[in-house]
Amino acid sequence: MSPAPLGLVVLISGYGSNLQAIMDATASGEIATRIRAVISNRPAAPGLDRARQAGIPAVVVEGRRGQPRSEYDSALQRAIEPFEPDLIALAGFMRILTPGFVQHYAGRMLNIHPSLLPRYRGLHTHQRALEAGDAFHGASIHYVTEELDGGPVVRQARVPVLDGDDEASLANRVQLAEHRIYPEVIGWVASGRLAWRDGAPWLDGQPMNGPVVTETDGLGGVRPSGE
């Protein structure tokens, strides 16, 4: 008898392209997951319509101007808990979470960030990579800890910066890589390959000393450079 699919809640704020990649991988059977809910802090987030069209509960937890972060996070936690997720995937969720919230879901929350962490934590990562003259940019998947974009990185995709790139063209190619590696990492959790033990990620029964790195051709193709 095959194990039950991994119960997943996805947090979004916008368009939901990574959500769609996860949905597609789930629907095709590529990863053994069940998306139990999609939650957004923005009522107009297009990703909510993606969820509704797929028959997935779409929930809005909208913050109020001046609302304490701890109060918002308590409301978010109350919205999440009925779905009893095994894993929470942040997919463009544009809020900084409080330490209490992060601690509650320690080892059960992943985030995808559009840079090669620890470079360029925070916003405007593509612009910053171009201004620095970097030869490579990319995306990172990491466990969420109290430090902003500072949790252990488990997967990275390196994307070459091409001559003539602007912020939009570079962002588009990074996003293609994101759509491949985020479902993959969620699949690792679902299959038991990736686990959180003693405050650190373990892959295939061994503690991770660094992320699995993926090289790309800059056009969406990916090739693991070591696993």
Catalytic residues: 113
Can you say whether residue 133 is alpha, beta or left, with left for phi > 0 and alpha for psi between -120 and 50 degrees? Answer: left
Strand order in 206-207's β-sheet?
Answer: 194-197, 200-203, 206-207
* 103 within 8 A of 146, measured Cβ to Cβ: yes
* Three-state DSSP class for residue 6: strand
* 3-class SS shares of the chain: helix, strand, coil, % to 5: 30, 25, 40
What spatial distance separates the first Cα and last Cα of the chain, rounded to whole Å? Answer: 28
* Three-state DSSP class for residue 209: coil
Q: Cα dist. 179→4, 32, 104, 138, 183 in Å?
A: 24, 17, 27, 12, 7
